[in-house]
Amino acid sequence: MKDYLASIEKLRKDAAEAALIRDLAMDEAKREVFNRLHEHLNRLADEVERALRTGRTAS
């Protein structure tokens, strides 16, 4: 379980970092890439959280 929680935390941190880079980027293409990365990492973290909750209830 600690592995799941650490993974979620890392994904959220990485998503926040991507958002920061997006916000600081001067180039529109770079902003779009980092925005997509931010959204993707947050979705992955959400999926890990859902899997963790589902795994708990299934046990």
Domain ranges of the chain: 2-52
How far is residue 24's CA from residue 44's CA, in Å, rounded to a whole number? Answer: 23
- Residue 57 pLDDT: 59
How far is residue 56's CA from residue 52's CA, in Å, rounded to a whole number? Answer: 6
- Residue 43 pLDDT: 98
- Residue 55 pLDDT: 83
Residue 59: Cβ within 10 Å count? 5
pLDDT tens track of the chain, all 59 residues?
788 899 999 999 999 999 999 999 999 999 999 999 999 999 999 999 999 988 875 55
- Residue 37 pLDDT: 98
pTM here is: 0.85
